[in-house]
Amino acid sequence: MDSPWTLPTVLLCYGQLLPWLMTVGDQSLDEFYNETEAKLFLQFYEQTAQVVLNQFMEAAWNYVTNITKKNREDMLHKELERSQVMVYFGSRARLFKIAQFQDRAVKRMLSKLLDIGKAALPKAELWEYNKLLAYMETAYNMAQVCLDEGPCLPLEPDLQEIMANSRDQKELLWAWQGWRDAVGRQLRPIFEHYVILSNKAARLNGYKDMGALWRSKYEDETLEQDLERLFQELQPLYLNLHAYVRRSLHRHYGPDIIDVRGPIPAHLLGNMWAQSWVNILDLVLPFPKKPPEDITKIMKGQRWKPGKMFEEAEKFFTSLGMLATPPDFWKKSMLERPPDGREVECQTSAWDFYNGKDFRVKKCTEVNIKDLLSIFHQMGHMQYFLQYKNLSILFREGANPAFGEAVGSMVTLSASSYQHLLNRGLLSQQHQDSEEEVNFLMGIALDKIAFIPFGYMIDRFRWKIFDGTIQKDIYNQEWWNFRLKYQGLCPPIPRSEDDFDPGAKFHISASMPYIGYFISLVLQFQFHEALCKAAGHMGPLHQCSIYNSKMAGKILGEPGVGSRETWLQHTLYPPPDVLKVGSSKPWPQVLKELTGKSKMSSEALLSYFKPLLNWLVTENVQQGEILGWPDFSCSFPERRKPKAAFLSMELEPKTARSGQWVLLILCIIMFLMILGLASRLFIMEKQSANKDSSDNTETGNTNFLCVPMEPHQAARGQWLLLGLCLILMLCSIILTIRIFTWQN
């Protein structure tokens, strides 16, 4: 029999789906859907998916690097084609009796095909859902905050620079509130519909809601319990950091802004979302007489450019004996904001175009140490792409959704180490004393430790929205309840359900899962510890850099010439090449090959920050700090409600508005009555004029309102009546304008 997987040419045109449902339950086809046919089916999937995914990625890239209506429509059409193909292959994959197969790779690939995500939606709803997602992401990317008299500022770099560098709490509040007004309020009316369609897609895939679908990617039944365990293990470190930072901000801003026993206002931590506090290091430095060198200033003095920053990151990986990026990377990537003025999405990201040779980074690079470390992170993603490029498309992803992030962040731990920066000419002082070491660790902690509760709570919040625990009428209230509970933060001004502050975070407006960032925070230190041991590092973990360690490189991926033989001299086992396996193995197995443990552990992270934690505990005890924010909530003092003036009276706004509407209606009624009366009188006057014309001619009088009078008196009366009508009309118009102006 000819293989059916090469026949449906309509599929290659991404047109219509074959009537696979007709075959379900046909026992005569059971032998046909065997393991051999499954392999042919998967080969056909590879050929088709490579074309479809590549075209979709190109369309998506064109859109985010040139945001236009046409590019958005092109992307949406390619997304629809991709979804049609996913539906076809996902539906066919269900016909195979996977449990009876022997080949583990075949079973794993077919299992991955079963979940087709949002593509499970009916075509009309899928198109609507994709448009909704595109609108939400575009609203975020295009948002700006405008000065009263001056230009409008985008998030990157302008608003982020204000949040990072300003120490004027009023200016910080302006940027903080302005961004949330510009983004969140746009998304508030549509977010509920997004939730409904997301959950419908999840149920069509066999999950109770979208949160369950997202969690399923980790293939771990105890995921939520494991995450809670990790959070509880790390919480003492965060609480000590929070208490110390709160005290430092109290010294700077004073008791009117900071309560030393309460939560911290969210706009004072140097970051639009308060997820990283590293930008306020100057306010919280443990030993201010020994400030760290300004690496950004050194970079600018050495005339670093975005291209050099990427080259520096690549040198790190090639020093490990790993793969260099292909030439097309440098030609096709967007390494800095385009100078031609087109609108682009500046959210940093790494892209795999699924053809084994095209990999790109999108970043609006600024010359500073923060962006340099971000580039190291993105080049970690590049290395992952390069290592697993020869696998099936189904396996071209991290071992779990957090692995890629962990690999990139693990590299930044080495790249930001004092010794590495010194060796690369970005520091001049040869040695650190104990106080300088605490200052150094504080800088790392303000980025890593401050992120712990933020990374944990984002998806816990969304999971409860998806499962219905959090209803639409309390989205914003619950958002700040979560931020208070986990982070000890409050909004600097009262918020309401007209606001939608979660939408001011990219990953929420772009519908991207976030729990992987929390998991990667833990995994990166596990990876770092394992590779430092392989590199032969002796001493505190925070002093380790794996730069130039071929042994560490061999554990991660592609070995260099003679490296495998070198490895075998040190161990009985071959190098695991953990990046090369992608997601072809269960992630606990890959984790064990790398670290010796199959479970996530906080031990390495706590070891890294142990000197700082000891210092923080001592400092907080001496200051009599209270850890946490007991008995505090994000409530605000009762404020006098604004009054509205109406007929020289100060009334409640609703009462005043009602009075205005009543007065307007009365004016309209009177206006209509006067018009009717005038019309009636005009008719009567005309009839009377004809009848009495002869009498009036003799006397010289004129009738007005059926009364004979002198002509000049009648004319004056007519003008008075006309004036009254005009005044009433003007009154109606002015009141109408006043009411609508007041409402807005």
pLDDT digits over 376-411, tens only? 999 999 999 999 999 999 999 999 999 999 999 999
Q: What are the tens digits of pLDDT across the range 229-239?
A: 999 999 999 99
Determine the Cα–Cα distance for residues 31 and 38; give it in Å rounded to an integer.
Answer: 11
Q: What are the tens digits of pLDDT across the range 700-721?
A: 566 655 566 666 666 676 667 6
Identify the pLDDT of residue 359.
97
Determine the Cα–Cα distance for residues 325 and 620; give it in Å rounded to an integer.
Answer: 47
Phi/psi region, residue 397 (left: phi>0; alpha: psi -120 to 50; beta: rest), is: beta
Judged on CB neighbours under 10 Å (0-12, 13-18, 19+), 573 is exposed
Determine the Cα–Cα distance for residues 23 and 573; give it in Å rounded to an integer.
Answer: 48
Identify the pLDDT of residue 19.
40
Which pLDDT band, with edges at 50, 70 and 90, does 690 fall under? low
Q: Nearest 5°: phi and psi at 381?
A: -60, -45
Identify the pLDDT of residue 491.
96
- Which of 30-44, 99-113, 564-578, 639-653 shows the highest mean pLDDT? 99-113
Identify the pLDDT of residue 242.
98
Q: What length is written for the chain?
A: 744
Identify the pLDDT of residue 658.
74
Judged on CB neighbours under 10 Å (0-12, 13-18, 19+), 726 is exposed
User: In the predicted model, what is the mean pLDDT of residues 208-216?
Assistant: 96
3-class DSSP assignment, residue 244: helix
The response to whether 218 counts as a known ligand-binding position is yes
pLDDT at 465 over 80: yes
Place of tokens 């505190």: 540
Instruction: Identify any residues that bridge with 703 across adjacent strands, giving them in sequence order.
Output: 708
pLDDT at 480 over 70: yes
Secondary structure of 470-490 as H, E, C letters: CCHHHHHHHHHHHHHHHHCEE
User: In the predicted model, what is the mean pLDDT of residues 461-469?
Assistant: 97
Q: Do strands 359-362 and 349-352 pair parallel, antiparallel, or not at all (unpaired)? A: antiparallel
Where helices occur in 288-336 by DSSP H, the ranges are 295-301, 306-319, 327-332
Residue 10 C-beta-side C-alpha neighbours within 13 Å: 8
Calculate the average pLDDT of the chain.
85
Determine the Cα–Cα distance for residues 273 and 350; give it in Å rounded to an integer.
Answer: 22
User: In the predicted model, what is the mean pLDDT of residues 58-71?
Assistant: 95
Identify the pLDDT of residue 637.
42
Place of tokens 């175009």: 353
> What pTM was estimated for this model as a whole?
0.79
Which pLDDT band, with edges at 50, 70 and 90, does 632 fall under? confident
Identify the pLDDT of residue 681.
57
User: In the predicted model, what is the mean pLDDT of residues 465-481?
Assistant: 95
Identify the pLDDT of residue 174.
96
pLDDT at 187 over 90: yes
The alpha carbon dihedral of 248, 254, 257, 263 has a sign of positive
Give, to the nearest 10 degrees, the angle between helix 587-595 and helix 515-534: 30
Instruction: Flag the least confident range among 503-517, 616-630, 633-647.
Output: 633-647
Determine the Cα–Cα distance for residues 535 and 115; give it in Å rounded to an integer.
Answer: 40
Determine the Cα–Cα distance for residues 713 and 697; give it in Å rounded to an integer.
Answer: 16
Residue 419 carries which side chain, given as an amino acid letter?
A: Q
pLDDT at 18 over 50: no
Higher pLDDT, 678 or 441: 441
DSSP label at residue 426: S
The response to whether 381 counts as a known ligand-binding position is yes
Instruction: Provide the percentage of residues in the chain whose pLDDT is more than 90.
Output: 71
The response to whether 405 counts as a known ligand-binding position is yes
Determine the Cα–Cα distance for residues 348 and 363; give it in Å rounded to an integer.
Answer: 5
Identify the pLDDT of residue 23.
44
Q: What are the tens digits of pLDDT across the range 290-332?
A: 999 999 999 999 999 999 999 999 999 999 999 999 999 999 9
The alpha carbon dihedral of 401, 404, 407, 410 has a sign of negative
Which pLDDT band, with edges at 50, 70 and 90, does 22 fall under? very low
Contact 78, 55 (CB under 8 A): yes
Q: Do strands 144-146 and 152-154 pair parallel, antiparallel, or not at all (unpaired)? A: antiparallel
Determine the Cα–Cα distance for residues 652 and 656; give it in Å rounded to an integer.
Answer: 6
pLDDT at 31 over 70: no
Q: What are the tens digits of pLDDT across the range 317-373?
A: 999 999 999 999 999 999 999 999 899 999 899 999 999 999 999 999 999 999 999
Judged on CB neighbours under 10 Å (0-12, 13-18, 19+), 505 is buried
Which pLDDT band, with edges at 50, 70 and 90, does 561 fall under? very low
User: In the predicted model, what is the mean pLDDT of residues 662-687?
Assistant: 66
Identify the pLDDT of residue 622.
95
Determine the Cα–Cα distance for residues 374 and 355; give it in Å rounded to an integer.
Answer: 25
Give the helix, strand, coil percentages of the chain, each rounded to 5: 65, 5, 35
Catalogue the long-range contacts made by 325-333 (C-beta closer than 8 Å, 24 or more residues apart): 325/359, 325/379, 325/382, 325/386, 326/357, 326/358, 326/359, 328/357, 328/358, 328/359, 329/359, 329/360, 329/361, 329/382, 332/358, 332/360, 333/360, 333/361, 333/362
Residue 431: other Cβ atoms inside 10 A: 8
Take residue 444 and report the two structure tokens written for it: 């790392």
User: In the predicted model, what is the mean pLDDT of residues 96-102?
Assistant: 89
Contact 319, 547 (CB under 8 A): yes
Higher pLDDT, 720 or 691: 720
Identify the pLDDT of residue 34.
86
pLDDT at 742 over 60: no
Q: What are the tens digits of pLDDT across the range 408-438?
A: 999 999 999 999 999 999 998 888 899 999 9
Instruction: Identify any residues that bridge with 515 across adjacent strands, giving them in sequence order.
Output: none
DSSP assignments along 487-532, one per residue:
H-EE-SS---TT--GGGGSHHHHTT---HHHHHHHHHHHHHHHHHH
Identify the pLDDT of residue 532.
95
Identify the pLDDT of residue 669.
75
Query: Which stretch of DSSP H or E encloses residue 361?
Result: strand 359-362
Q: Of 336, 333, 344, which Cα lies nearest the Cα of 385? A: 333
Identify the pLDDT of residue 430.
86
